[in-house]
Structure 1
Amino acid sequence: MAYEWRLFWVGDGGIPAGGRPVPGWEDLEERERALGLRKRQPILVAPDGRVEPRLSECLRRSAFSAKAQGTQVTYAPLYRLFFTFLWQRGLDWNEASEDDVEDWEDWRRRGATNPAPVDGGTWAKEQAALKLLYGIAAQRGLVPSNPVTLASPTDVKTSDVKWLSPRAFRLWRNVGLGGMLPGGLEDEAWRGRSAGRDTAYADLMYSSGLRRREGGTLLLCELPALGQRNYYPGKVGQAVAKRAGYTFYLGHPALQRVEGYRMSTRALAVTRARRGGAYDRLPDLRIIQSVSRAGRVRWRSRDGRAGESALGRLTAAERMLLFVEGEDGLEPAMLWLTESGLPLRYTSWTKVFERASDRCAASGLEVFATPKMLRHSMALRTLIALHNALDRRLGLTPAERLHYEEVYGQVWLMVKDMLGHRSEQVTRDVYLEPVRGLQLESLLGDDDNPVNAEKIAELAARTGLILDAA
């Protein structure tokens, strides 16, 4: 008998995460549809092959299913690990006690046989995941009470550095992603073949403030058309946003780089894939027939079945199945592709950023970045720019601005909308709270030097909260 729980996702054809298809489950997709299971719902299978329907219901219609897709993808593997720990103790998933949770925490963080102990921040996330699931189970009477009663860890560390100055970003992008040397020359030893794609993605994220999943799942038809504007609006679908869809804004230089990627690196990848027959071997692809002005996309599958959906309701997994057919053949509808011409999973960008930061470190540079840091940086730049714009338009001095709190409150609202936050308070407290206490009015009142890299560099030197490059 096996001793590990397995994790499956509805719509994946019976292939466990990181595994192979299970014999006898060839008609699984039809059975899932008949049962009314939602796409990308996690299904946990016990080591004895049993699917616990009560557990599945806890994951189907509950506070768990209301979580963002990225959160669900993070939490479900943690459940599998904890259930396996219980099973090896002779316990089922709903038999966990407070002692079991404490022993699990001890092993995860300090266990001598654990090859990769987790820190306080990671354990805090795992604790939240378990508390959520067992809270749902307790409400439904499946467990006597929630066994997750541990106090929050005290060694949770958060980096003070959440922002990149413009010049620090350019240095990180050019050296880490673009294969340049710190001095600005090309590195002849550089062997990266995805520099065009990676730098375009970084520029898009730094300019727009999109989340990793939002920027990483864009379809070609969702890109604004390049013209002569300074900023271009686009829409984030609710199925890939954290909570609800919203409008994002992309600067002209960033959109130019994205268009350059489409016409060069991406086009070459598509050509290679067509010549190698890569698209002919994909059984589940959906060929887009039309996209209406109202945002309805219609498609057909290879077997002739038709389907349609609102663009905003397409999940990350569904977007990877969409293709468009042109004069030269099929190509993915997703913007970002692998070198082999297939849609790139948005989670892959974390590794891309890590490798870029490692390359900078190997070059002796103290610059690094994550997708979230680029989002924070966009918010900071926008906040300062909007404050300066209002100063100039109203003809206020920094001191006079203190009397116009109501007017400047609109700046926070605008940044909130650009980030897709539900409330202004989230923007203030989570993203920009450290900046709010920096007495920006003393730095941003110079009409002869409006907001730019120098302003942010001054903040970086003064506070130590912003990563800058000399």
Structure 2
Amino acid sequence: MFFAPDMSVDTDLVDFARSSSFRHLARETKRNYATDIRLLLDFLWSRGKRWAEADAGDLRDYRHWRTKASANPGRVSGTKWNRELAAFTRLYAWAKGEGLVRAVPADVKRPEDRAPDSRSSRVSWLTPRTWRLWTNVGLRGWTSKGMVEPGWTSRTDERDAAFVRTMLSSGMRRQEAGSLLMFEVPRTPLSGGRYCHGMLAGATTRTKASRTVYLSTDAVEDIDAYIEGPRAWAVHRAHQEGRYERLPMRRMITKVSAGLRQEVQWVDLDGVVGRAQLRDLTWDERRYLFMEGPEGPEPAWLWLNEQGMPFQLSSWETVFRRANQRCERVLRPPVSQMRDVHQRFAPYATPHSCRHSFALYMLVVLNHVLDRRYGLTPQERRDFQQLYGDPWFLVQNLLGHRNREVTMQVYLAPVTHLGLTSMLEAAKDPLTSAPLPDHGLDATFARLARESSGIQDIDAALAGAL
């Protein structure tokens, strides 16, 4: 609901919020778009205009105010403007279809309306040893001397570390990994025994297309340790305090069919039977699914909070933020001891950094496998690529990208200009079969970081962590 400064309600905006154009967006997208539109409404109100009266000049002035005006202390980046522009485009395209406006004053598809200096701030890469450092210090409470800090207490470190390793090992997005159900953890081993594979439900993905995902056996073991330890403890406490019995909505799973089109059947608290294909269950619907556990009903949702309830997807941002803050506090020396104030001492990561790092790691490993393990000649490598695709194509499929350019220009931007083959040949450390983030290829990634921009590689004096 949008209220004007005079507390009036714009019924046209209410209709937009109820339209399929807005209603079918993801919850987080709705929240972001509503905030962006509200700021535009405030700007137009200061000019004495309703949003339906705005023209291209108004939107150009608003863009200048948001991105360039020196009088605006809260200027935004070009990337942020482009996201706001997508919200405005959706609003005005709907309004044009309803006959409320004659033209769309700004369109995200028009190059002249977009910010030329757009650069995604979410893109970041960490080398395997830097991820180990970030995990041990940020999540497990290690000090700069490689030991657990005295007095450190955390009942979620196993969960958090398992989640990070799951995303690093598989390349799944936050929503994809965060909404896994207990019986969706990939457990079918590949012949080499180092990875397991499973199917990711399409409804939880950005493209709404199911795809095969691969998870290292080490990540699966971390998940199992979490299930048997902190998760079981949280479920036990929830039963003791009767939390599950007080829920207003609960769907008890009665059957999960086998086969390619797995179907989930359940019965709710009113005895109403429901069913849906597993691939069609959205993250929101999954929160209400329960299964029979050792002590009675428990959430089918894999990742739980300390109260034994499904851990909200947005809460992972808080986990990463606190880990970043701890790394900064523990690893950053006093300014007086810095030789270079621009040097990075503490790693910084976001949930999406896991996906970018996975892409970089897999590109390096796939190139290494082709050139070293199989000993392919140039002609044999060309034949292999014709049959299976080159490593760039394989990484694209692992990420679930429809557009190869996104894989190359965004996720693997630091190495598109490098000759990976020559770099791998110069590497002194052999490829190990162990998955990310173990020690194989550390020297190769260190060299990549030196010769590329955007890759964090911190060689900290943390022998125990590295």
Asked if 1:360 is matched to 2:349, the reply is no
Structure 1 residue 144 displacement after superposition: 1.2
Structure 1 residue 230 displacement after superposition: 0.9
- Tell me the equivalent position of 2:430: 449
Asked if 1:320 is matched to 2:287, the reply is yes
In the alignment, the residues of structure 2 paired with residue 151 and residue 175 of structure 1 have an alpha-carbon distance, to the nearest angstrom, of 43
Q: Greater shift after overlay, 421-430 or 252-261?
A: 421-430
- Tell me the equivalent position of 1:436: 416
Q: Are the equivalent residues in 2 in contact too, given 1:398–1:442 (CA < 8 A)?
A: no
Structure 1 residue 425 displacement after superposition: 3.5
Any idea what SS the aligned residue of 1:391 has?
Answer: helix
Aligned with 1:188 (options 113, 134, 150): 150
Q: Which amino acid aligns with 1:392?
A: R
Structure 1 residue 448 displacement after superposition: 7.1
- Tell me the equivalent position of 1:302: 269
Relative to 1, partners in 2 of residues 1:235 and 1:396: Cα closer, same or farther, differing over 3 Å? closer
Aligned with 1:175 (options 114, 137, 143): 137
- Tell me the equivalent position of 2:221: 256
Structure 1 residue 99 displacement after superposition: 4.8
Structure 1 residue 334 displacement after superposition: 0.7
TM-score (norm 1): 0.80
TM-score (norm 2): 0.81
In the alignment, the residues of structure 1 paired with residue 4 and residue 351 of structure 2 have an alpha-carbon distance, to the nearest angstrom, of 33
Q: Deviations over 1:388-421 (max 9, x none)?
A: 2112354246899689864784322221111111
Q: Are the equivalent residues in 1 in contact too, given 2:187–2:198 (CA < 8 A)?
A: no
Q: Which amino acid aligns with 1:352?
A: V
- Tell me the equivalent position of 2:463: none
Correspondences of 1:297-446 after superposition (within 5 Å): 297-363=264-330, 364=332, 365-396=345-376, 406=386, 409-445=389-425
Q: Greater shift after overlay, 89-98 or 188-197?
A: 89-98
Structure 1 residue 120 displacement after superposition: 3.2
In the alignment, the residues of structure 1 paired with residue 10 and residue 270 of structure 2 have an alpha-carbon distance, to the nearest angstrom, of 32
- Tell me the equivalent position of 1:209: 171
Any idea what SS the aligned residue of 2:196 has?
Answer: strand
Aligned with 1:462 (options 451, 456, 460): 451
Q: Which amino acid aligns with 2:267?
A: R
- Tell me the equivalent position of 2:16: 55
Q: Greater shift after overlay, 64-73 or 196-205?
A: 64-73
Asked if 1:162 is matched to 2:131, the reply is no
Q: Greater shift after overlay, 300-309 or 166-175?
A: 300-309
Q: Which amino acid aligns with 1:225?
A: R
In the alignment, the residues of structure 1 paired with residue 404 and residue 64 of structure 2 have an alpha-carbon distance, to the nearest angstrom, of 39
Asked if 1:239 is matched to 2:239, the reply is no
Structure 1 residue 186 displacement after superposition: 0.5
Relative to 1, partners in 2 of residues 1:226 and 1:256: Cα closer, same or farther, differing over 3 Å? farther
Q: Which amino acid aligns with 2:458?
A: A
Q: Greater shift after overlay, 72-81 or 417-426?
A: 72-81
Relative to 1, partners in 2 of residues 1:106 and 1:430: Cα closer, same or farther, differing over 3 Å? closer
Asked if 1:75 is matched to 2:42, the reply is no
In the alignment, the residues of structure 2 paired with residue 416 and residue 70 of structure 1 have an alpha-carbon distance, to the nearest angstrom, of 25
Structure 1 residue 349 displacement after superposition: 1.0
Q: Are the equivalent residues in 1 in contact too, given 2:320–2:349 (CA < 8 A)?
A: yes
- Tell me the equivalent position of 2:87: 129
Any idea what SS the aligned residue of 1:253 has?
Answer: helix
- Tell me the equivalent position of 2:101: 143
In the alignment, the residues of structure 2 paired with residue 227 and residue 78 of structure 1 have an alpha-carbon distance, to the nearest angstrom, of 46
Any idea what SS the aligned residue of 1:239 has?
Answer: helix
Any idea what SS the aligned residue of 2:253 has?
Answer: strand
Structure 1 residue 68 displacement after superposition: 6.0
Q: Which amino acid aligns with 1:224?
A: P
Q: Which amino acid aligns with 2:102?
A: P
Structure 1 residue 384 displacement after superposition: 1.4
Asked if 1:276 is matched to 2:247, the reply is no
Q: Which amino acid aligns with 1:280?
A: E
Q: Which runs of 5 or more structure 2 residues have no equivalent in the other structure? A: 333-344, 432-439, 460-466
Any idea what SS the aligned residue of 1:249 has?
Answer: strand
Q: Are the equivalent residues in 1 in contact too, given 2:79–2:119 (CA < 8 A)?
A: yes
In the alignment, the residues of structure 2 paired with residue 305 and residue 87 of structure 1 have an alpha-carbon distance, to the nearest angstrom, of 49
Q: Are the equivalent residues in 1 in contact too, given 2:429–2:444 (CA < 8 A)?
A: no
Q: Are the equivalent residues in 1 in contact too, given 2:415–2:452 (CA < 8 A)?
A: no
Structure 1 residue 248 displacement after superposition: 0.9
Q: Which amino acid aligns with 2:140?
A: G
Structure 1 residue 93 displacement after superposition: 4.8
Give aligned-pair identity as a percent. Answer: 40
Q: Are the equivalent residues in 1 in contact too, given 2:106–2:113 (CA < 8 A)?
A: no
Any idea what SS the aligned residue of 1:390 has?
Answer: helix
Q: Which amino acid aligns with 1:48?
A: V
Relative to 1, partners in 2 of residues 1:325 and 1:115: Cα closer, same or farther, differing over 3 Å? farther
Q: Are the equivalent residues in 2 in contact too, given 1:69–1:240 (CA < 8 A)?
A: no
Structure 1 residue 212 displacement after superposition: 0.9
Q: Which runs of 5 or more structure 1 residues have no equivalent in the other structure? A: 6-45
How many matched pairs? 427
Q: Deviations over 1:364-406 (max 9, x none)?
A: 1421111111111111111111112112354246899689864
Structure 1 residue 333 displacement after superposition: 1.0
In the alignment, the residues of structure 1 paired with residue 120 and residue 2 of structure 2 have an alpha-carbon distance, to the nearest angstrom, of 39
Correspondences of 1:284-299 after superposition (within 5 Å): 284-293=249-258, 294-299=261-266
Structure 1 residue 133 displacement after superposition: 2.6
Q: Are the equivalent residues in 1 in contact too, given 2:371–2:421 (CA < 8 A)?
A: no
Higher relative contact order (CA 8 A, sep 6+): 2
In the alignment, the residues of structure 1 paired with residue 238 and residue 72 of structure 2 have an alpha-carbon distance, to the nearest angstrom, of 42
Q: Which amino acid aligns with 2:213?
A: F
In the alignment, the residues of structure 2 paired with residue 108 and residue 424 of structure 1 have an alpha-carbon distance, to the nearest angstrom, of 32
Relative to 1, partners in 2 of residues 1:282 and 1:113: Cα closer, same or farther, differing over 3 Å? farther
In the alignment, the residues of structure 1 paired with residue 225 and residue 104 of structure 2 have an alpha-carbon distance, to the nearest angstrom, of 53
Any idea what SS the aligned residue of 1:379 has?
Answer: helix
In the alignment, the residues of structure 2 paired with residue 313 and residue 48 of structure 1 have an alpha-carbon distance, to the nearest angstrom, of 36
